[in-house]
Amino acid sequence: MWLSLVPIALLVGMLAAAVQLFGADASYGPNQIALVVGTGVTGLVGLYRGLSWDEIQEGLVAGIRIGLSPILILLAVGALIGSWILAGTVPAMIYHGVSLLSPSYFYPASAIICALASISIGSSWTVAGTLGIGLMGIANSFGLSPAMTAGAIISGAYFGDKLSPLSDTTNLAAACAGVDLFDHIRHMLWTTVPAFCIALLFFLFNSEEAARAPEEIAALREALASEFNVGVVSLLPLGIMLIFIALKIPAYPAILLSTLVGCGFAAVFQGEAVRAFALGIYPDSQSPTAQGIWQVLFGGYQGSSEDDALNDLLSKGGMSSMLNTVWLIICALAFGGVLERTGILKQFLDAALKRVRSTGDLILATVTGGIVSNILAADQFLSIALPGRLFSVAYDDRGLDRLNLSRTLEDSATLTSALVPWNTCGAYMSATLGIATFEYAPYAVFNYIGPIVAIAFGYLLIAQKRVVVELPST
């Protein structure tokens, strides 16, 4: 165990040093270096234990392979954001949103909107990458806290993701525990609903008035209308995206198709804006429409209007904006893959089980296993699957229904994944919403209240379903 702690202690120390030396910029290179060094030291531990370099490399590659789908989705979302800004979809969401949503209830309303959307489509990532972008823009228009807004968006998105039968994590948790999907969802209501209610109360009591004066908001709406066509037609790409998801088209092709729809809408309905954008970068362009759309897909939108607030609001997106996050994900998954291959991760989880003396201890060990796996393996799917496999026998031995296991896996591994900067989920949310993970984490109330509620219910023996043993008839 002491040898296993060496790469972990080194990583934690280097990450702490990175934050101390570079502050908010730690995720733009320093954290990646810490993860690469940690991966190398973990590999040395593996060699010392008798593994060959080929076996270690196999674990490293296997870890990265897990992240290929999230990386593709991340790049596609970067292109989607750029195309939807140029298509007028994001500007229209902001334009109409500031009229419909009041600052006095904006945070709880954002959480509820994202929760309903996420239940419908089963994807917290998709909700954050579509509705979340618009809600962040509306919050910035009002002058509200971006970190609080991101926390509300993530809280709502993960609440819906947990309870949706279309969610991949919900299906995975049920499968790992070997329970019925809908029984799993019903059993999750015990902890999920109280945690979300606490989050909504937090957002309601922390609501605030708009920092911008009404005339400033009116001026921003006027600037949006002068730069883009903000009619209802510009909102159609969002509706089409939701239809794609409702038809159960997987996330990556659905996002790519929605990006192409955004490009088409930009060419047809935002012709002047597209040409102005392209000519602002390439004054001698012979095909400004094609060049503008192509540019926004890889480089994002760069505002050039006379309104600086509008430029700051809309200058984002593009595949290139996601490359630093991709770098972080690859480094983190390489570390997690080697950690699993050398047996270090399993060793920590086994150690947690040795201290189990009661039902509450078992729930605490499961929650701890999910959180530790999210931190070390950097992927929520692995953080569900590995503790799910290792802890299932312990639930059987204590006469506890495995529905308790599947629920606790979601309460820990699913929820806390968005709170770890180098986890695929934390990196995605940070890159998509434009807020550092450590900045929004204190406000993602549902994501850290959920594990606390699960542990409390474990020790209080609330909703801990037991296996019913049928006695043979005489």
Q: Identify whether 296 is part of a domain.
A: yes
Bridge partners for 226 per DSSP = none
Q: Residue 112's pLDDT band (boundaries 50, 70, 90)?
A: very high
- Quickly list H helices, 247-358: 251-269, 271-281, 288-299, 308-314, 323-341, 344-353
Number of folded domains that form the chain: 1
Closest alpha carbon to 383 in 409, 363, 361, 365: 409
Give residue 186's Cα distance to chain centre. Answer: 23
The answer to whether residue 371 sits within a structural domain is no
Element (H, E) at 26: none
276: containing domain: 70-321
Whether residue 170 lies inside any domain: the answer is yes
Assigned domain for 459 exists: no
- Under the banding of pLDDT at 50, 70 and 90, the label for residue 469 is low
pLDDT in tens, 143-160: 999 999 999 999 999 999
Tell me the two tokens of residue 453.
Answer: 């509620």
Q: Are 410 and 441 in contact (CB under 8 A)?
A: no
pTM: 0.81
Tokens of residue 277, six digits: 């954008």
Identify whether 8 is part of a domain.
Answer: no
DSSP of 404-464: HHHHHHIIIIIHHGGG-TTSHHHHHHHHHHTS-HHHHGGG-HHHHHHHHHHHHHHHHT-S-
Give the highest mean pLDDT range of 38-47, 235-244, 335-344: 38-47
- Measure the CA–CA gap between 181 and 171, rounded to whole angstroms: 6
| 253 in any annotated domain | yes
* CA nearest to 423, candidates 389, 452, 450, 384: 384
Q: Is residue 161 part of a domain?
A: yes
Cβ neighbours of 239 (radius 10 Å): 12
Q: Is the pLDDT of residue 387 over 60?
A: yes
C-alpha 108/C-alpha 114 separation (Å) is: 10
Q: Which conformational region is residue 194 in: left (phi greater than 0), alpha (psi within -120 to 50 degrees), or beta?
A: alpha
The proportion of the chain whose per-residue pLDDT surpasses 90, expressed as a percent, equals 45
Quote the pLDDT of residue 472. 57
Q: Is it the case that residue 192 has pLDDT exceeding 90?
A: yes
Q: What is the mean pLDDT of the chain?
A: 88
- The pLDDT of residue 71 is 86
Per-residue model confidence (pLDDT) at position 470:
53
The alpha carbon of 98 is separated from its chain's Cα centroid by a whole number of angstroms, namely 25
Cα separation, 390 vs 400, in Å, equals 15
Residue 9, domain member (yes or no): no
Convert the pLDDT of each residue in 312-354 to its tens digit.
878 888 999 889 888 888 888 888 889 888 988 778 777 777 7
DSSP conformation letters of 197-215? HHHHHHHHHT----SS-HH
Q: Which residue has the tokens 């009661």?
A: 358
